[in-house]
A and B are shown apart, each in its own frame.
Chain A
Amino acid sequence: MHDTRRTVLKGIWAIGALASAAAAGLLSPVRAFAAWNKGAFEAKSAIDAMRALGMSSAEDSKAIQIRAPDIAENGAVVPIDITSDIPGTTSISVFIEKNPFPYTGTFDVSQGAIPYVHLRVKIGESSPVRVVVAAGGKHYTTAKEVKVTIGGCGG
C-alpha cells in the first residue's frame, strides 16, 4: 500500500521537485483565505496547482485517511470522506489528478473545525484522488485511486 502511494507520488513529483522545494520556503504553509486562488484552480496538472499553492514539497503520510469508492457508481457524483490524524492540521486540499483542472478545493479547519471533510465530486475518468494536508508549517500527502466505470443502459 505504502509502496503504491510512493510510486504515484514520484510520478507526479518527477517534474517539479526542485521548483517546489524553493516555493515551499517562500509561501506561508497555512493557507490564507484572502482570495480564491485562480492560478491554482486553472492549473492543468496537479503538480502545477500544488506549486501555485506552495504545497508541492508535501511528504507522503499514512495519517491521512481517504474514504472513497474503489469503483464509482457514477463519475458525476463521487463521495469522498477525508480525515487527517496529523496533529495541528490546518487545512485539507483535494486534487483529482486526471481531471482537466485537477485542483478541486481547500478546506480550512484551522479556526475551530475538526480535520475532517465530506464532499462529492465529478471525476471524468479513472484517477488518483490526492489529498494534501497542511499541519505545523509543513505539508503531507496521500492518494487513493478511484475507477470510473461504463454505465448500465441509458435509462
Chain B
Amino acid sequence: MRHALVLGLAAAISAAPWQQAAAQAADPTAAEFDKFREIMEQDNPAELFEAKGEELWRARRGPKNTSLEQCDLGLGAGVVKGAYAQLPRYFADVDRVMDVEARIVHCMMTLQGFKYEELAKQPFSSPVRTPEPVSLATYVAAQSRGMKIAPPQNHPKERDAYETGKAIFHYRAGAFDFSCASCHGEDGKRIRTQPLPNFTKPATAIAAVQGWPGYRMTGGVMHSLQWRLNDCYRQQRFPEPGYASETLSALLTYLTVNASGHVYRGPGIKR
C-alpha cells in the first residue's frame, strides 16, 4: 500500500466491477476481487455520507440560515429524486452547464450565503474531514439509484459542453505530454494492475460514472467526481483545475453523455 501511494503515471478512474471482470476475465486476481465486491457493496460506508448529506440538505445553515430544500437540481426547486441521473445539464439562472457538485456549491452560495472561496479552500475529503458538498453530492446521487443515466443534450450549451469536454479530454500538454485519452482512450489497457477503461466509447464510458461518488478504501474517505478529476490532473502533471469549474463540468458532460443509457447503481466503493 505504501507502494501504491508513490505510483502515479496518469489518470486512472477505477473500473466498475463488471468492467474489471470483462477487461481481465483471465486474471485470477481480478476474479478474486470481484467475488468480494458484492459483499463490499452490500454494506458500503458511503451510506453514512448519504445520510449525512440528507441531514445537511434539510438543515438551516449558512449566513442566511436556510436549508437547501429549494435548490433546483434541474427538475425544479426541491426535486432531488432522479435529478442526478440527468446531470450535468444547462441551468438558465447561471447560463452554463453544471455538474452535481457545481450545482450544489451554487445553491450553497445563493440560498445559504456561503462563499465560493470558503467552499473551494479544502474541497476534498481527508481522514478527519468530509466537506459538506461531498456528502450532499452523495445524498443527491443516491436518489437516482437504479435510474438510467440520461444527461440532456437539448440546449445548445449542453451540446457545446459535450464537444468542449471532448476537446479537453484529448488535449495533450504538460510535462509528460499526457491527455485524459493517454490512459482512457484505448481498450484493454491497464496501469500497473489497475484496468484503464476506454471512456471514448459508450460501452466502457460507464466506468467513469458508475461507483461515483465513491467510498475509497484507501484512507477510508468519501470522494466525489470533482476529486477524481482533480487527482487525474495531478497525475497528468497539469496545473490544478478550479474546483467546480466550467472546465470540469464540460469534461463530466463528455464522460456522462458517453455513459448514457446505463443504469446508475448509486454511490459506490472504490479501491
Q: Which residues of A contact B (CB under 8 A)?
A: 69-71, 73-77, 79, 81, 118, 148-155
Q: Which of A69, A75, A148, A154 makes the CB contact (< 8 A) with B6?
A: A154
Pair B32/A71 contact, Cβ less than 8 Å = yes
Residues of B216-246 contacting chain A, CB below 8 A: 217-220, 228, 231-232, 235
Give every chain B residue within 8 A of A76 (Cβ-Cβ).
1, 217-220
Pair B220/A152 contact, Cβ less than 8 Å = no
Pair A155/B29 contact, Cβ less than 8 Å = no
Least CB distance from A80 to B in Å reads 10
Give every chain A residue within 8 A of B11 (Cβ-Cβ).
155
**B94 touches A (CB below 8 Å):** no
Give every chain A residue within 8 A of B192 (Cβ-Cβ).
150-153
When A69-B36, A73-B217, A79-B36 are in contact, do A152 and B271 touch as well, CB less than 8 Å?
yes
Pair A155/B231 contact, Cβ less than 8 Å = yes
**Nearest B-chain residue to A124, judged by Cβ:** B1
Enumerate 25 A-B pairs (CB-CB under 8 Å) in ascending A order: A69-B33, A69-B36, A71-B33, A73-B217, A73-B271, A74-B271, A75-B1, A76-B218, A77-B217, A79-B40, A149-B29, A150-B1, A151-B1, A151-B193, A151-B194, A151-B271, A152-B14, A152-B192, A153-B4, A153-B10, A153-B192, A154-B5, A154-B8, A155-B12, A155-B228
Give every chain B residue within 8 A of A152 (Cβ-Cβ).
4, 7, 12, 14, 190-194, 271
**B109 touches A (CB below 8 Å):** no
**Nearest B-chain residue to A81, judged by Cβ:** B39
Q: Which residues of B contact A (CB under 8 A)?
A: 1, 3-14, 29, 32-33, 35-37, 39-40, 43, 190-194, 217-220, 228, 231-232, 235, 271
Known contacts A76-B218, A155-B10; 18 further A-B pairs (Cβ under 8 A): A73-B33, A73-B36, A74-B217, A76-B1, A76-B220, A81-B39, A149-B29, A150-B193, A151-B3, A151-B4, A151-B194, A151-B218, A152-B14, A152-B193, A153-B12, A153-B235, A154-B8, A155-B228
Least CB distance from B212 to A in Å reads 13
Give every chain A residue within 8 A of B33 (Cβ-Cβ).
69, 71, 73
Pair A70/B220 contact, Cβ less than 8 Å = no
When A73-B217, A76-B220 are in contact, do A153 and B271 touch as well, CB less than 8 Å?
no
- CA–CA, A118 and B39, complex, Å: 10
Pair B8/A153 contact, Cβ less than 8 Å = yes
Give every chain B residue within 8 A of A79 (Cβ-Cβ).
36, 39-40
- CA–CA, A109 and B117, complex, Å: 52
When A79-B40, A154-B8, A155-B11 are in contact, do A71 and B29 touch as well, CB less than 8 Å?
yes
Give every chain A residue within 8 A of B36 (Cβ-Cβ).
69, 73, 79
Give every chain A residue within 8 A of B190 (Cβ-Cβ).
152
- CA–CA, A116 and B37, complex, Å: 20
- CA–CA, A81 and B6, complex, Å: 32
- CA–CA, A69 and B38, complex, Å: 12
Pair A154/B40 contact, Cβ less than 8 Å = no
- CA–CA, A40 and B6, complex, Å: 35
Least CB distance from A125 to B in Å reads 9
Q: Which of B3, B5, B32, B219 makes the CB contact (< 8 A) with A69?
A: B32
Give every chain A residue within 8 A of B219 (Cβ-Cβ).
76
Least CB distance from A83 to B in Å reads 14
Pair B235/A155 contact, Cβ less than 8 Å = yes
Give every chain B residue within 8 A of A77 (Cβ-Cβ).
40, 217, 220
Pair A153/B194 contact, Cβ less than 8 Å = yes
